[in-house]
Amino acid sequence: MGLCRVFAASFCLLCFSSFSTFGQGQTSARVVEDGIPVVFEPAPSQISGPAAMTGRLPGATVVWEPGRVQVQLLGSRTGQLEIGFVGASVTIPHGSSRAASQSNYLLGNDPSRWRTHVPNYRQVVYSDLYPGIDAVFYGNRQRLEHDFVVSPGADYRQIRLHLSPDAHATLDSHGELTIALPAGKLQMHKPVIYQDLPGGRQPRSGRRLVIAGCHSLVARY
């Protein structure tokens, strides 16, 4: 059995181009932002809680913690979406694929409080989030996408995501998941599934299920 990769084409809770089409985006800044690659960095110590990695997208800040992802929506109507990994291990997310850029924060007049040469990464990885399954987050233009990478013999049915109590999720006939929040609507696109075999990459069929506030994957491979 080959490696199976479950690819969510746009983890569009994190696709803020879609967010802006619902009337909450930063349209005037898109021309500038589209040319800037999405990178991630270690969370500063000022962030309370167990945050490990952070990233910024048009209209939002994303914080990765053990067991969950926090999406903090910005703009005229602020809000927050939490995505929890149900039944997952408490693995610490880490940066992967080091970028050439760095971040520097020279805030205030006290150099001891400055943060300089903060490394940037192209990916945030949860290794063994479930037994034999990694979660990999990365940018595509100004969208945040994610893969679940399923090792041979691992059970993809372990993957379950839970959304914030104030998030109302609806699944349409095309497999698109719309998440309604007080601050606006976000969208997760239909997942794309494939398996790497000795003879090459093979597509696999599958779909998302929404059950009792959680959504999970049903696939055939």
pTM score, whole prediction: 0.80
Range of the domain at 62: 3-38+56-97+123-220
Secondary structure of the chain as H, E, C letters: CCEEEEEECCCHHHEHHHHHHHHHCCHHHHHHHCCCCCCEEECCCCCCCCCCEEEEECCEEEEEECCEEEEEECCCCCEEEEEEECCCCCCCCEEEEEEEEEEEECCCCCHHHCEEEEEEEEEEEEEEEECCEEEEEEEECCEEEEEEEECCCCCHHHCEEEECCCCEEEECCCCCEEEEECCEEEEECCEEEEEEECCEEEEEEEEEEEECCEEEEEEEC
- Dist. CA 131–CA 89, nearest whole Å: 8
| Per-residue pLDDT reduced to its tens digit, 20-47 | 223 344 333 333 445 578 899 998 865 6
Q: Which residue has the higher pLDDT, 183 or 96?
A: 96
Domain annotation covers residue 102: no
- Dist. CA 84–CA 55, nearest whole Å: 17
- Dist. CA 137–CA 97, nearest whole Å: 11
Asked whether the beta carbons of 9 and 189 are under 8 A apart, the reply is: yes
Q: Which of 38, 40, 44 is nearest to 58 (CA)?
A: 38
- Dist. CA 158–CA 149, nearest whole Å: 12
Residue 61, beta-bridge partner list: 56, 72
Confidence band (pLDDT; 50, 70, 90) for 11? very low
Strands 79-85 and 68-73: antiparallel
Domain annotation covers residue 145: yes
How many domains, in total, are found in the chain? 1
Domain annotation covers residue 46: no
Domain annotation covers residue 50: no
Domain annotation covers residue 44: no
| Per-residue pLDDT reduced to its tens digit, 73-108 | 887 677 888 999 999 999 999 999 999 998 888 988
Domain annotation covers residue 105: no
Domain annotation covers residue 71: yes
Domain annotation covers residue 24: yes
| Per-residue pLDDT reduced to its tens digit, 115-156 | 888 999 999 999 999 999 999 999 887 788 888 888 888 888
